[in-house]
């Protein structure tokens, strides 16, 4: 199969509100991943952040996907947030052993760090990453303000990421913070999502953009406009970006992702997305 110019995905593959619009009414919960993987190229695996799956579940995930699909699983929060990467070599080894059947379908192992993880902890991150074999696909998401200040701390982080060929994950939360906090989902998202500057830097070959959409359709296009320039530049350079689309409640995330992808197709040659399983192959995908 030809290499995809970009990989488009969502933050999850299972959502009850997608039953009619995405999967199709007759789809069972254990069939959702297979249908998701027919359309999207990757998924942000939040599930492993909260709990390590058992061996049966991991093998089921493998059976539901194809060889060109890529997971981007987060490391468990017990490692990244509770222990702050300290004294958790054994726990990491156990987690990676459980996930072994999927190792060849991993686009990126995501090390998502809390805002409390600052420049004073950078050496700990460097030491932690020595536990991985060379050339392992690793993405690092930082949230401490010093890593966005364009000072010594950010320069040191970026230089190390480039040296190791680790990707810096890019959070674009501008759309969701531009929304009025007039419903529970938006309020919750604005409380939990980091409000950090967008530093569009590729430190390795698979930069991941986490685009958290506005609940209304139109504002998303203006916020996505800079990516319509940056993503083709990266593709031209031989870089394969991962574009992860979120919304506050994720109800319309599949439609938003398809719509933004279509915008990107106006700027760069990309293969068409397959139609959502719930619709006829000739049905045009619209956002709402």
- pLDDT number for residue 183: 87
> What are the pLDDT digits (tens) for 88-123?
999 999 999 999 999 999 999 999 999 999 999 999
What's residue 239's pLDDT? Answer: 97
What's the average model confidence in pLDDT over 133-155?
A: 95
Q: Considering the entire predicted model, what is its pTM?
A: 0.93
Average pLDDT value for residue range 162-179: 95
pLDDT of residue 88: 95
Q: Does pLDDT of 283 surpass 50? A: no
What order of strands is seen across the sheet that includes strand 167-168?
109-112, 138-141, 167-168
Secondary structure percentages of the chain, helix, strand, coil, to 5: 45, 15, 40
Model confidence at 1: pLDDT above 70: no
Residue 284 or 72, more confident: 72
Please write the tens of the pLDDT for every residue from 48-60. 999 999 999 999 9
d(CA 243, CA 12): 13
- Domains located in the chain, CATH noted: 7-265 (3.20.20.410)
For residue 285, the model assigns a pLDDT of 45
What is the mean predicted confidence (pLDDT) over 23-44? 96
Q: What percentage of the chain carries pLDDT values higher than 70? A: 96
Mean pLDDT of the 165-179 span = 94
Band of residue 135 on the pLDDT scale cut at 50, 70, 90: confident
Segment 227-258, tens digit of pLDDT:
999 999 999 999 999 999 999 899 999 999 99
pLDDT of 214 above 80: yes
Separation CA 193–CA 168 (nearest Å): 17
- Structure confidence at residue 2 as a pLDDT band (50, 70, 90): low
Question: What does the pLDDT read at residue 12?
Answer: 96
* Statement: residue 286 has pLDDT above 50: no
- What does the pLDDT average to over 38-50? 94
Cα 171–Cα 175–Cα 178 angle in degrees, nearest 5: 125
In angstroms, the CA 71 to CA 9 distance is 9
pLDDT at 280: 54
Hey, what are 106's tokens? 């991993």
């Amino acid at each position: 199969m030809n290499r995809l110019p970009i990989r488009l995905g969502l933050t999850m593959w299972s959502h009850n509100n997608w039953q009619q619009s995405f999967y199709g009414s007759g789809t069972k919960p254990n069939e959702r991943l297979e249908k998701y993987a027919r359309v999207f190229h990757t998924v942000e695996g939040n599930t492993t952040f909260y709990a390590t799956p058992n061996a049966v579940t991991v093998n089921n995930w493998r059976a539901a996907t194809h060889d060109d699909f890529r997971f981007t699983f987060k490391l468990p929060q017990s490692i990244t947030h509770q222990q702050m990467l300290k004294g958790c070599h054994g726990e990491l080894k156990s987690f990676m052993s459980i996930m072994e059947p999927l190792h060849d379908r991993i686009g990126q192992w995501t090390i998502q760090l809390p805002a409390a993880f600052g420049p004073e902890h950078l050496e700990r991150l460097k030491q932690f990453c020595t536990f991985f074999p060379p050339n392992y696909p690793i993405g690092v998401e930082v949230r401490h303000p010093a890593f966005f200040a364009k000072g010594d701390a950010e320069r040191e982080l970026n230089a190390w990421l480039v040296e190791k060929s680790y990707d810096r994950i890019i959070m674009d939360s501008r759309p969701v913070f531009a929304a009025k906090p007039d419903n529970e989902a938006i309020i919750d998202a604005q409380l939990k999502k980091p409000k950090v500057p967008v530093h569009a830097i590729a430190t390795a070959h698979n930069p991941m953009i986490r685009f958290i959409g506005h609940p209304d359709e139109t504002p998303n296009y203006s916020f996505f406009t800079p990516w319509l320039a940056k993503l083709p530049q990266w593709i031209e350079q031989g870089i394969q970006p991962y574009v992860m689309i979120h919304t506050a409640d994720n109800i319309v995330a599949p439609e938003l992702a398809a719509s933004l992808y279509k915008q990107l197709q106006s700027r760069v040659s990309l293969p068409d997305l397959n139609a959502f399983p719930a619709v006829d192959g000739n049905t045009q995908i619209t956002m709402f």
